[in-house]
A = this chain, B = another copy of it.
Amino acid sequence: MNSHIKAVDINNVWKFFNLGGTVLVEGKHGDDIDVMPASWSMPIDYNKLGVVLDSTHYTRKLIEKEGYFLLALPTVKIVKELMYLGSNSKNDVDDKVEQSGLKFFNIEGCDFPLPEGCVAWAVCKVLKEPHNEKTYDLFIGEVVAGYADDRIFNDKGEPTFETAGEELSILPNFGGAYFYSLGKRVSVPGY
């Protein structure tokens, strides 16, 4: 396992997903795993994350069966794999995840294999909300475990993207294949 991966306090996981980067959504049921990118995702509370998942997605079906999902925060490093995962469906391509080139690692105590090339991961338990799922394709999960790469945050819990290098940048998205990296820290007068 990557020695940079650290468990994160459940109530601090939201900060990583607050940055607004595209996420990878992973669903699994038994040996069946699917991963899709999503950019309609946000914290709903200090220990809750929300994500919009269209009903046609194979990943969503796995999440509905299992009652859990994983959100991961991918970096510039795997933008090619991410685009493949978003352009192909496991409804059509059985070995989509393998074909994407995405690799995984395991961490003790976590049932989800974690995608490599990411800087944060959150395991979420679905809070069943049939109306939201049906009307808005909106899934809300309670964070039950979180991990992050210690090159992007320090002991005080402050972000350190500015020293981590562009390769570890998250991927803000403007729809389609329009991605940006993170830029500089913005200094705020008085803070």
Contact = CB atoms under 8 A, between A and B. Distances in A.
Contacts of A182: 172, 180-183
Contacts of A83: 188, 190-191
Contact of A183 (B50, B159, B183, B188): B183
Nearest to A176: B191
A contact patch SS: mixed
Interface in A145-191: 158-159, 161-162, 166, 169-186, 188-191
Contacts of A39: 18, 20, 42-43
B18 A19 contact: no
A172 B174 contact: no
A40 to B, nearest CB: 5
A76 interface: yes
B44 A174 contact: no
A176 B52 CA distance: 26
A80 interface: yes
Contacts of A172: 19-21, 170, 172, 182
Interface in A51-110: 52, 76, 79-80, 83
Contacts of A178: 158-159, 185
A164 to B, nearest CB: 12
Interface of A: 14-16, 18-21, 39-45, 48, 50, 52, 76, 79-80, 83, 131-132, 136-138, 140, 158-159, 161-162, 166, 169-186, 188-191
